[in-house]
Amino acid sequence: MPPDTAFSWDTFRQVPVIAILRGYSPEVCREIAEVGMDTGFHTLEVTMNTEEAVDILSMLRRDYPLMNVGAGTVCTLEDYEEAVAAGAQFIVMPIVEEEVIVSAVAEGLPVFPGAYTPTEIYRAWSLGATAVKVFPARELGPEFVRDIHGPLSEIKLLPTGGVDKGNIRSYFEAGVLGVGMASGLLDRALLAEKDYDGLSAHFRKVKNAFTDVLE
């Protein structure tokens, strides 16, 4: 992939959190991107089941070139092709769909398939996943990550679903590559009130809860 469209691992590692944009208007997505730029959350996922997802992806890629912008809820090859055409720099999936994973690997796009059981996690990794999205992580928790890393220490994990300010530190202490965050980061009450200063403060609180673990 050309350098100007490649996923930046340096950017991701500074704050290894994927902010999940699901169901938000283009205008709200732009406001979230502004907050992300200001607070260091530079990796955004636009889910493909969001209305105008392709347009939002294209807008964010065009207007926020210093951010990593990818597509989530990619379940089919059609979803994948639409996301790539819109400029997605990485692919996130809620499932293990072989043809999507293989296509992303062939094109050099980071791909994070969703898996729940050890068998699913290993299957996703064996197909070439960059990291495996442990999903939904809400009922599994950080101890599950530790248990998986016992026999499968080489597999990089990205827990998503139920990650919040209260448990994010424990996930990083368990050795995850990163996490995906939706409502735990994108506070619904603050967004409903269009309180973007409050959202910025919330982002900083989330970041302060775990970043010293990365040092």
Residue 10 is part of a domain; what is its CATH number? Answer: 3.20.20.70
What is the per-residue pLDDT for 4? 55
Residue-wise pLDDT for 142-164, tens only, equals 999 999 999 999 999 999 999 99
CA dihedral 145, 153, 8, 24 (to 10 degrees): -20
CA separation for the pair 164, 138 (Å, rounded): 10
In a domain, 178, yes or no: yes
Whether residue 94 has a cis bond before it, omega within 30° of 0: no
Q: From first to last of its 215 residues, what are the pLDDT tens digits of the chain? A: 333 579 999 999 999 999 999 999 999 999 999 999 999 999 999 999 999 999 999 999 999 999 999 999 999 999 999 999 999 999 999 999 999 999 999 999 999 999 999 999 999 999 999 999 999 999 999 999 999 999 999 999 999 999 999 999 999 999 999 999 999 999 999 999 999 999 999 999 999 999 999 98
DSSP annotation of 4 reads G
Is the peptide bond between 118 and the residue preceding it cis, with omega within 30 degrees of 0? Answer: no
Its pTM stands at 0.96
Q: Which domain holds residue 29?
A: 3-208
Residue 157 counted as domain residue = yes
In a domain, 161, yes or no: yes
- Whole-number Å distance between alpha carbons of 141 and 171: 8
In a domain, 214, yes or no: no
User: How many domains does the chain contain in total?
Assistant: 1
